Amino acid sequence: MGRKPALVVALALTASAAAAHDGAHEEVSVFAPLWTFDPWVVVPLLVSATLYLGGTLRLWFHAGVGRGIRIWQAAAFWTGWLLLAVATVSPLHWLGERLFVAHMIEHEIIMVLAAPLIAAARPLGAFLWALPQDWRAALGRGARSGAMAASWRVLTDPLVATVLHALALWAWHMPLLYNAVLVSPAMHRLQHASFLVTALLFWWTLLYGRARRRGYGIAVLYIFATMLHSAALGILLTLSPRVWYPEQGAFAALCGLTPLEDQQLAGLVMWVPAGLIYTVIALVLAGRWIAAADGGAMRMKRV
């Protein structure tokens, strides 16, 4: 499979010439920080951080630290936020534009690490607390309106949320769309936004929506379904005898990889590490489901 994986990162961070998004070559200084400061990425990150920090401090000032927003939720949000920043702003993003395995790591950080942490934190409450009271009231009325409430009920159905997330994953890895991402910054932004939004919807629905009210059993089912279909895509990438995205192969040679080996590594990332994370989360929720069922059985016996 080529040289050690650590060499891939080392070469990427010190390369003097690398393949650009459009397949041409661009000069990269050895001392270039390689950080990406795209306003379409940086501004939402800064706005969300400001709103969450302001809302948390205001709520804790009025209600006390840990009330309304628990300390573990704040920790989950900031961990997820930092992971998003790593995936979209750090040198990993620069490398992901040129090396498929790095791009896949970026995607998995967004969908399988950052999204469940942010969803578990339930940040909307903190965001609202950061706004003036009149704005909070207006947004609350809008959310309770018939059209918005009906749309939210549909989107947070466990099956709908799971299917939307699956469609985003598979559609963006089809060669036609993925190759468009490699030559269009706008398509690249849209790809990441769709991964993040559908992943947040998926995880929120399973953690706090109707799946939770049904006892987490449905959540476990849909997490395993997602693990299986994402693993299937990873297996296809790993075992395919041909390169799916030739435009992303130019940089692989500088890292001691052929384009096909780069694709195989990317498939393995989607298949194995991501599958393990899905499995761990599913087992945690299954444990909570069993514990809740046992608690209910004990209460019935006392009655």
pLDDT at 209: 84
Cα-based angle 124, 84, 180 (whole degrees, multiple of 5)? 110
pLDDT at 280: 95
pLDDT at 162: 96
Please classify residue 5 by burial: count the beta carbons closer than 10 Å to its beta carbon, then call 0-12 exposed, 13-18 middle and 19+ buried: middle
Number of domains into which the chain is organized: 1
pLDDT at 1: 46
Question: What single-letter DSSP state applies at residue 27?
Answer: E
Taking the C-alpha atoms of residue 213 and residue 221, their distance in angstroms, rounded to an integer, is 14
8 A C-beta contact, residue 237 and residue 263: yes
Ordered DSSP codes for 98-114:
T-HHHHHHHHHIIIIII
Rg, Å, the chain Cα set:
21
Taking the C-alpha atoms of residue 20 and residue 23, their distance in angstroms, rounded to an integer, is 5
For the chain, the straight-line distance linking the first and the last C-alpha, in angstroms and rounded, comes to 63
pLDDT at 55: 96
Nearest to 204 by CA among 110, 116, 78: 116
pLDDT at 296: 52
- Residue 107 neighbours by CB under 8 Å, 6+ apart: 87, 195, 270
Range of the domain at 233: 5-137+145-302
Q: What is the pTM of this model?
A: 0.85
Taking each helix axis from N to C end, the angle separating 100-108 and 5-14, rounded to the nearest 10 degrees, works out to 100
- Residue 21 neighbours by CB under 8 Å, 6+ apart: 97, 98, 182, 183, 185, 188
Q: pLDDT tens, position by position, for the chain (303 residues)?
A: 444 444 444 444 444 333 334 333 344 443 345 888 999 999 999 999 999 999 999 999 999 999 999 999 999 999 999 999 999 999 999 898 889 999 999 999 999 999 999 999 999 999 999 999 888 888 878 878 878 888 889 999 999 999 999 999 999 999 999 989 988 999 999 999 999 999 999 999 999 987 666 678 889 999 999 999 999 999 999 999 999 988 877 788 888 899 999 999 999 999 999 999 999 999 999 988 887 765 554 554 555
pLDDT at 293: 66
Taking the C-alpha atoms of residue 19 and residue 270, their distance in angstroms, rounded to an integer, is 24
Nearest to 115 by CA among 210, 221, 212, 226: 226
Task: Name the CA dihedral angle for 278, 283, 289, 294, rounded to a multiple of 10 degrees.
Answer: 180
